Amino acid sequence: MGWGRIVMVLAGAGAMALAGSLFLVSGEQGPQAARSPLRTPSPADPLTGEEISRASEIASATLRRRMTTGQVELLYIERGDDKAAEDRRRADAYIYDYAANRFIVRTVDLAEGRVVAERAGRGAQPPPSRAEGERAAELLLADRAHGGRIRAAYARAAGRPLRSASDLGLRALVYTPRPAHRGAGACATHRCVRLLVRLPDATWPDTTRIVVDLSAEKILTLEGR
């Protein structure tokens, strides 16, 4: 789905962006939706592009400044499907506060146009967003030892040097330290990910011992079992 990406590009960008998102999403939904982009969604329909943009704006209204500096990041918007509010159009905004290492979920009621609930805490980690995956890959490539190994494997597979992280097929997964692991203790409180990296010859170099600490912008190597 492309919506997560659209949200990140558009968050806080205003009316032009809203119109743009309608265009993009109606393109995905086919000609029917394109002709009537303002069709009222049914209660269990996925959020429309317009609803996602609006939920992003509302959820991040008090976070704009810290979002610009990268301290806080809006990861994605998920439709709220709490049984207790089944007839309401609601959106959950997944937000990560890198400065405080806090995970925040803000629930936006779209009819009321406001945040109706906020849950926040440390420890629980939401799945990484696409932007976080790309940032992790850039950090990994900048690392002399591990990045060098990936670059060499890429050059062997592709027959040409790696230009940027976007040459790689990426999948980021949250890393949570296990009792037997050494070397990644910081990840008990930091936001850490592991990357699965696909090379052009459809192979995956073993990256399972590498952890990217996004909070500290550091590469960690796992030891022990």
Partner 1 sequence: MRLSVFPAALLSCALLVTCGAAAPAGALTPAGAPASTSTSAGALTSAGVSAPAAPEPACGSPYLIDQVLPNGARWRLCWEMRVIEGLTLTGVTYTPPRGRPIKVLRSTALAQIHVPYDSGEPRFHDIGTLGENAVTLASADCPGGERRERFVCVTTRSRGHGYLKSRPGEPNLSAQGRELVVYSAFQIGWYTYLVEWAFSDDGAITPRVGATGSLSGFDTGPEHGWPTRAGNTHIEQSHTHNIFWRLDFDVDGRKNDVVEQYDFPGSGTAKRTLSRTVFTKEAKAVTAPARWWRVVDTESRNADGHRISWEIGNSDSARYRGPADEAFTRADLYVTQYRACERLASANPAPGCAASVDRYVTGQRLTDPVLWVNVSYHHVARDEDADPMPTHWQGFRITPRDAMAENPR
Among 126, 134, 167, 186, binds partner 1 (CB under 8 A): 126
d(CA 118, CA 121): 10
d(CA 49, CA 7): 9
Q: What is the DSSP string of 21-51?
A: HHHHHHHHH-HHHHH-TTPPPPTTSPPPHHH
CA dist list (Å): 129 to 1, 4, 77, 132, 134: 12, 8, 11, 5, 9
Among 82, 114, 116, 160, binds partner 1 (CB under 8 A): 82
Under the binding rule (CB under 8 A), the answer on residue 42 touching partner 1 is yes
d(CA 55, CA 107): 9
Write down the least CB distance from residue 109 to partner 1, Å. 14
Under the binding rule (CB under 8 A), the answer on residue 184 touching partner 1 is no
Under the binding rule (CB under 8 A), the answer on residue 103 touching partner 1 is yes
Among 14, 62, 155, 206, binds partner 1 (CB under 8 A): 206
Q: What is the rounded end-to-end Cα distance, in angstroms, of the chain? A: 36
Write down the least CB distance from residue 101 to partner 1, Å. 12
Among 62, 176, 189, 221, binds partner 1 (CB under 8 A): 176
Residues that bind partner 1 (CB under 8 A): 1, 3-4, 28-30, 32, 39, 41-46, 76-79, 81-84, 94, 102-105, 119-121, 123-130, 171, 173-174, 176, 178-180, 194, 196, 198, 202-204, 206, 208-209, 222, 225
